[in-house]
Amino acid sequence: MTINIQCEDRVGLVAAISGLIAQESINIISMREHVDTEQHLFFARLEMDDNENAQLLKNKLKEVLPQNATINIHTSQEKKVVVMVTKEYHCLGDILIKNHFKTLGATVQCVIGNHAVLEEVCTKFNIPFHFISHTEKDKPSFEKEIIDTLKQYDFDYLVLAKFMRILSSDFISQYKYKVINIHHSFLPAFIGANPYRQAFDRGVKLIGATAHFVTDHLDEGPIIAQNINPVNHTFSVADMMRAGKEIEKTTLSRALQLVFEDRVFVYNNKTVIFE
Interval 69-98: pLDDT, tens: 999 999 878 999 999 999 999 999 999 999
pLDDT digits (tens, 9 = 90+) for 195-253: 889 989 999 999 899 999 999 877 779 999 999 999 999 999 999 999 999 999 999 99
Q: Say if strands 28-36 and 41-48 run parallel, antiparallel, or are unpaired.
A: antiparallel
Q: Which domain holds residue 69?
A: 2-74
* 56 and 83 part of one domain: no
Of 25, 45, 74, the residue that ends a domain is: 74
Q: Say if strands 179-184 and 206-213 run parallel, antiparallel, or are unpaired.
A: antiparallel
Q: What is the DSSP letter of 217?
A: S
Of 41, 56, 74, the residue that ends a domain is: 74
* 7 and 115 part of one domain: no
Number of domains in the chain: 2
* 206 and 237 part of one domain: yes
Q: Where are the alpha helices (DSSP H) in the chain?
A: 13-23, 54-64, 90-100, 119-124, 139-150, 169-173, 195-202, 237-260
User: Annotated active-site positions, please?
Assistant: 219
Query: Which residues are registered as beta bridge partners of 7?
Result: 42
Residue 165 burial (C-beta neighbours within 10 Å; 0-12, 13-18, 19+): middle
* 95 and 218 part of one domain: yes
* 152 and 259 part of one domain: yes
CATH code of residue 7: 3.30.70.260
Answer whether residue 188 shows pLDDT above 70: no
Helix axes 54-64, 13-23, angle to 10 degrees: 150
pLDDT digits (tens, 9 = 90+) for 164-182: 999 999 999 999 999 999 9
